[in-house]
A and B are shown apart, each in its own frame.
Chain A
Amino acid sequence: MIRWTPLWLVVACAHRVADDQPCFEAQVAMAARLEDCTGDTERALELYDQVEVDHTCAFADDPRFEPEGSAVQAGAYECAFAIRNLACELAEAYDQDVDQWLTAAPVCQWLWVAK
């Protein structure tokens, strides 16, 4: 099915982030960092899928991230930043262990919680 995008997105204008954006960014960051450090795309994609197997995104439901429009919501992105700057030795050691990746920054454990 062809993706017909709304006009305001067609020319890629400013718009809202998705409700689970900080979680998504952390998930992408884990996989991207593993690929950066190992050069192994398959391993990275496995980790990407693994995140959602045992964990769920709590960003939208956690009152600690309220109210919308507060700086604390921007702080939620610290998780992705910390993960993308993780030492390669740690990234390789963490491999498919999502709980280990979530120790990269305290806010990571607020975002992704065990099911």
Chain B
Amino acid sequence: MMLTLWLSLAFAQEELFAEACDITFPIAGTAGFDNARQAARINANTYAAGAFARRRMRKQVIAAMDAHSVYGVALVPSYCDRDSARRAGQVYMEPLDLHATNVGFNLPLLEDGPLHSKFRLFYASSVTTSTHWSRIGTAFAPMFNLYPAFFAPVVGSSSTGQGLGTYSVDWIGGALFRSDVISVQAGYTGRRGVYADVTQEKVALFVNGVLDELGDGLDAADLSYWMGGLQDLDLQRTGAPSEAGVTSLYARSLPLAQRDLERPDLQLPSSQLLRTGHVQQEDVLHMLDLNLAWQFGTESSSLRELTAAWHTEGWVVRDDRALDDGTQGYLRAGVVHLPGQPLRGIKGGVYPMFQGVVRITNDDASIKLIAQMNHPDLLDLYPFGVNAFGLAAELTWRIPD
């Protein structure tokens, strides 16, 4: 189904716009070009192995494999150098598409120690690409990237790119200790150095970050990002009925660009930091989610997101229960607000958002298929990605109970 959707999108656009241009040159110096270069870097950093390990390699997961594509994340003024094309000799807007493939494994060494502790070795990797070319020719990029994802330490962490076509490989290897009290995950990432994550399990408090570099005088500015608060607190633990759901309340600061490490005195300007606060109440009545987010740290704080979601019962996994077998669905809709970003050439506004997810689960594995537009997660990553369309497939294998 995912493949069909993927191909349909690619074919449809190829049919409609085949005459646009097939030999095209992005124009450097434009906002779209700058956004596209940044999108390629963000894609490489955010779907990097460390982020994947935190998000996906947890609890009962023994292996995971993801493929993400984002179509039209940036629109780049480009010159068409094909005489037979409809855009021959013209400057027109050509979209940039992104692809990311992730693979991860856990190797259980101890599964039932004191305080239900577990000790595992883990490996996670990422291969990311950006394309500014025929969508039909690049539709299978996430699948072709599986091989280097499996063998990233051999392939080596690398990043190459001329113009807007980029290719980047990253990996992380390390150890995970998890008990009823605390979860500690630490390792080494091929491209970015030391990675660490500590979570207090009982009250769901967490803090994590990635250091740009290790050196003398470590301070907050060396944190690539930070995030902290309360995550996935099941209100049942406080004596509330299970219908009250699961609460998350957290704040975070995400860099929208990399610091220039050759000029350590120059901090990222405020426009390059996305600071947001989040209130989420999930699984209310076992079928509804509410999400509210606001942006702060700029001159005027603003609403970031107001969305609601409906899902089938059992969608939210609580109390360390395994996923229910069968097919489940999730629909989320609402509005997102993007402030104007003159320095990126983006006009702000309120945009409709939707996300549809199907999850199919059996005893050992599950697959999740996602289609989304203007989803806050996408816009957090790519603040210029207005109306970008994302498709993703996430496969998970779990340790049998």
Please list the residues of chain A having a beta carbon within 8 angstroms of any beta carbon in chain B.
Answer: 1-5, 8-17, 21, 24-25, 28-29, 31-32, 35, 39-41, 44-45, 48, 68-71, 73-74, 77-85
Q: Which of B310-352 contact A (CB under 8 A)?
A: 335, 342-345, 349-352
CB pair B16–A25 under 8 Å, yes or no, is: no
How far apart are the CA atoms of A70 and B389 in the complex, in Å?
A: 32
What distance in Å separates the Cβ of A39 from its nearest Cβ neighbour in chain B? 5
Starting from the known contacts A25-B77, A41-B343, 4 additional A-B residue pairs (CB-CB under 8 Å) come to A25-B31, A35-B343, A74-B79, A79-B29
Q: Which of B10-52 contact A (CB under 8 A)?
A: 13, 16-17, 20-21, 27-31, 34
Given contacts A11-B71, A13-B13, A31-B342, contact A2 B93 (CB under 8 A): no
CB pair A39–B267 under 8 Å, yes or no, is: yes
Q: Is B166 interfacial (CB 8 A cutoff)? A: no
What distance in Å separates the Cβ of A60 from its nearest Cβ neighbour in chain B? 14
Pick from A10, A29, A83: contact of B389, CB under 8 Å: A10
Pick from A11, A14, A41: contact of B271, CB under 8 Å: A41
CB pair B29–A29 under 8 Å, yes or no, is: yes
How far apart are the CA atoms of A21 and B30 in the complex, in Å?
A: 9
Q: Is B191 interfacial (CB 8 A cutoff)? A: no
CB pair B27–A14 under 8 Å, yes or no, is: no
Pick from B342, B344, B387: contact of A10, CB under 8 Å: B387
How far apart are the CA atoms of A49 and B19 in the complex, in Å?
A: 38
Q: Is B66 interfacial (CB 8 A cutoff)? A: no
What distance in Å separates the Cβ of A37 from its nearest Cβ neighbour in chain B? 9
What distance in Å separates the Cβ of B103 from its nearest Cβ neighbour in chain A? 28
Pick from B31, B71, B79, B269: contact of A12, CB under 8 Å: B71
CB pair B93–A28 under 8 Å, yes or no, is: no
CB pair A14–B31 under 8 Å, yes or no, is: no
CB pair A14–B90 under 8 Å, yes or no, is: no
How far apart are the CA atoms of A78 and B268 in the complex, in Å?
A: 27
Q: Mostly helix, strand, loop or mixed at chain B's interface?
A: mixed
Q: Is B9 interfacial (CB 8 A cutoff)? A: yes
CB pair A32–B389 under 8 Å, yes or no, is: no
Instruction: Report how many residues on chain B are interfacial, defined by Cβ distance under 8 Å.
Output: 47
CB pair B343–A14 under 8 Å, yes or no, is: no
What distance in Å separates the Cβ of A17 from its nearest Cβ neighbour in chain B? 6
Contacts of B388 in A (CB 8 A): 12
Given contacts A41-B269, A41-B270, A80-B30, contact A11 B77 (CB under 8 A): no
Give the residue name and chain of the B residue nearest to A42 (CB).
Answer: B299
CB pair A77–B77 under 8 Å, yes or no, is: yes
Pick from A11, A24, A31: contact of B72, CB under 8 Å: A11
Q: Is B88 interfacial (CB 8 A cutoff)? A: yes
Pick from B31, B89, B93: contact of A15, CB under 8 Å: B93
Contacts of A74 in B (CB 8 A): 27, 79, 91
Pick from A17, A31, A73, A81: contact of B343, CB under 8 Å: A31
Contacts of B386 in A (CB 8 A): 5
What distance in Å separates the Cβ of A23 from its nearest Cβ neighbour in chain B? 12
Q: Is B92 interfacial (CB 8 A cutoff)? A: yes
Give the residue name and chain of the A residue nearest to B30 (CB).
Answer: A25
What distance in Å separates the Cβ of B101 from its nearest Cβ neighbour in chain A? 21
Pick from B27, B345, B387: contact of A9, CB under 8 Å: B387
Pick from A11, A14, A24: contact of B9, CB under 8 Å: A11
CB pair B34–A81 under 8 Å, yes or no, is: no
Contacts of A21 in B (CB 8 A): 77, 91
Q: Is B245 interfacial (CB 8 A cutoff)? A: no
What distance in Å separates the Cβ of B325 from its nearest Cβ neighbour in chain A? 34
CB pair B94–A14 under 8 Å, yes or no, is: yes
Contacts of A45 in B (CB 8 A): 342-343
Q: Is B373 interfacial (CB 8 A cutoff)? A: yes
Q: Is B190 interfacial (CB 8 A cutoff)? A: no
Contacts of A28 in B (CB 8 A): 30-31, 342-345
CB pair B350–A2 under 8 Å, yes or no, is: yes
Q: Which of B288-304 contact A (CB under 8 A)?
A: none
CB pair A68–B90 under 8 Å, yes or no, is: yes
CB pair A17–B269 under 8 Å, yes or no, is: no
Q: Is B87 interfacial (CB 8 A cutoff)? A: yes
Contacts of B29 in A (CB 8 A): 25, 29, 77-85
CB pair B343–A48 under 8 Å, yes or no, is: yes
CB pair B89–A10 under 8 Å, yes or no, is: no
